Amino acid sequence: MYDIEKIRKDFPILQQKINGKRNTFLDTAASAQKPQAVIDAVVKMYSQTYANVHRGSYYLSEMATSAYENARRIVKDFINAKSEKEIIFTRSATEGMNLVASSWGLNNLKAGDEVLLSEAEHHGNLVPWQNTCAKTGATLRFFKVNDDGSFDIENFYKLLNPKVKMVAVTGMSNILGTVFPVKEIAHAAHLAGALCLVDACQSIVHTVTDVQDIGCDFMAFSGHKLYAPSGIGCLYGKYDLLCSMAPYQFGGDMIENVTYEKTTFTTPPARFEAGTPAIVQAVGFGVALQYLQAIGMKNIAAHEHELVKYTNERLKEIPELKIIGTAADKGGVFSFALGNIHPQDVAFILDKEGVSVRTGHHCAQPIVNRMGYNSLARASLGLYTNNEDIDCFVNALKKAQTFFKQA
């Protein structure tokens, strides 16, 4: 049984008022709130067992190292990787995708090669490949999404050819909510002789993720969207590929031997974790994933599936509201325009009602422009979102609409 009220009590920030109103937080796609278990783990780490990792032969360092590496094992199990050696802790998903574009892309792409992305990519998976293609002479291509935001399978296969060396695609669009068939995409990429990277920032939050079943070569995701602290992310990579890649950053803890003349590098994942890592954040990451597993990712997916249906029905009450992205089985992301009212003005009124939504191009400017807008408002759901949140959201939208009609 999914006890939504019990779950909501696990998040202390949801208990406070916003502008004297119920805290209706609908910006989880940007960054999720943190359960008390994660907050407690961070406080405990800093107050009882903090030290640098991998570097000290004393009790606190050994405790910190054990906790840090245990978090790596938790992440490995969460995505069903073959080995914890395939789990690289990064600052963010963006850093993970930059790592692949730099460490793999700069050393493997050349003029005549192609990199294939969707039109719906976040800047974190678009700009690094733009940069890498500009430096290597490779060509960056984009397969289309349909006007309703759905995956254009015909255009994908049309552009997939032997010149393509990397297919990098989102698992779920942060603008459209579209869930991309990443298992099919990875399989098709491999048949064409290409590798596949999945930006799982949005998708991993809402459903069970199994990298061995998907078959992707790389997957990047962030902790802060998974109810973990900010400043921590993960890059999964198949171990043989990681071993073939040059380091992305250089410094302490990623070396094998250093002389004044030459440096040799250690094996993954340490090869890609230069310097003091985000120790406490990684431990919090592990606790957050355990929290999700205790609830059950299938239970979370079922809850959010019903909530998406409820949201769609309630939003039909507002005729002038335009939802951007209406593909079947979309995730809990609702980018919208409310008549001719500027998104920032809508968000201002919603905030007065205690409702938090995001505005702008959401770090995915090309797809926002592709759908005919410069800026959109966006409401996004999380495991703690309930029907009452949606009711408050819809009522606040109606107030915003009335206010600007009277203005």
Q: Mind telling me the catalytic residues?
A: 363
Cβ atoms 198, 169 nearer than 8 A: yes
Cβ atoms 337, 296 nearer than 8 A: no
Residue 356 makes CB contacts below 8 A (sequence gap 6+) with 18, 23, 24, 25, 26, 27, 350
Cβ atoms 227, 34 nearer than 8 A: yes
Task: Return d(Cα 129, Cα 116) in angstroms, integer.
Answer: 9
Contacts by 210-218 with C-beta closer than 8 Å and gap 24+?
Answer: 210/79, 210/80, 211/79, 211/80, 211/81, 211/236, 212/80, 212/81, 212/82, 213/80, 213/183, 214/182, 214/183, 214/186, 215/183, 215/186, 215/187, 215/190, 216/182, 216/186, 217/186, 217/241, 218/96, 218/100
Nearest Cα to Cα of residue 200 among 166, 223, 232: 223
Task: Return d(Cα 212, Cα 381) in angstroms, integer.
Answer: 27
Task: Return d(Cα 275, Cα 157) in angstroms, integer.
Answer: 42
| φ, ψ (nearest 5 deg) of residue 380 | -135, 145
